[in-house]
Amino acid sequence: MSKSKQLTIDQASVAYDKGRWKPAFRAFLVLAEQGDETAFLMLGFIYDTGQGARRNLAKALQWYLRAYKVGGTTAALAASNLATICRDNGDWRQEFQWYVRAAKLGDGDSLVEVEIRYLAGKGVKRSPTMAVKHFKAAVRSKNITEAGRDTAQQLLRSCKGWARARID
């Protein structure tokens, strides 16, 4: 295929965003065959949601894992999506571990998820101390959504209030 006719990840993404899911899916498959890490992530998402192909969690896991293993810019998001699938399947320990991996790759919103698990003791031993440590890191993170930062700040304040109440 000539350069001028070669499909780009941006073109496939635009098609997907416009609801042209089937052509986008086919384009992502071609791009994945060429080793495009964003295509790996998008194929995971398509199989995860069923928008563009029949929903298939086994294939979603396969593509998310491939995106994670490549590393790069898609790895943190792939790890976060893997955590969500684990949560949906009730595997709290694996969910926690995938959020930790995503957080280590710089995903601030995954730091918030790690904190919440430490507070609840879900998938990990309950530890308000560890939760506060991660809340502080999330608040300072450069890679966090506004909603994630707000949640981290709220929970950090409530943890500090909890600690004062325990001391009094």
Name residues whose C-beta falls within 8 Å of residue 117's C-beta, 6 or more positions apart in sequence. 92, 95, 96, 99, 123, 124
Give the distance, in angstroms, between the CA of residue 4 and the centroid of all CA atoms in the same chain.
Answer: 33
Question: Residue 158 corresponds to which amino acid?
Answer: S
Confidence (pLDDT) at 134: 83
In eight-state DSSP terms, residue 36 is -
Q: What domains appear along the chain, each with residue ranges and CATH number?
A: 1-70 (1.25.40.10), 82-168 (1.25.40.10)
pTM for the predicted model, two decimal places? 0.84
- Three-state SS at 48: helix
Q: What is the largest CA-CA distance in the chain?
A: 72
Consecutive 10-residue averages of pLDDT for the chain (168 residues): 61 94 95 95 97 95 97 92 95 98 95 94 93 87 93 86 44
Coil, helix or strand at residue 9: helix
Phi, psi for residue 124 in degrees, rounded to 5: -155, 155
Read off the tokens for 166: 């325990």
pLDDT of residue 128: 87
CB 140 within 8 A of CB 121: no
pLDDT at 21: 93
How many angstroms separate the CA atoms of 155 and 168, rounded? 20
Q: In Å, what is the CA distance from 126 to each residue of 36, 50, 61?
A: 39, 35, 28
Q: According to the model, what pLDDT value does residue 2 have?
A: 35
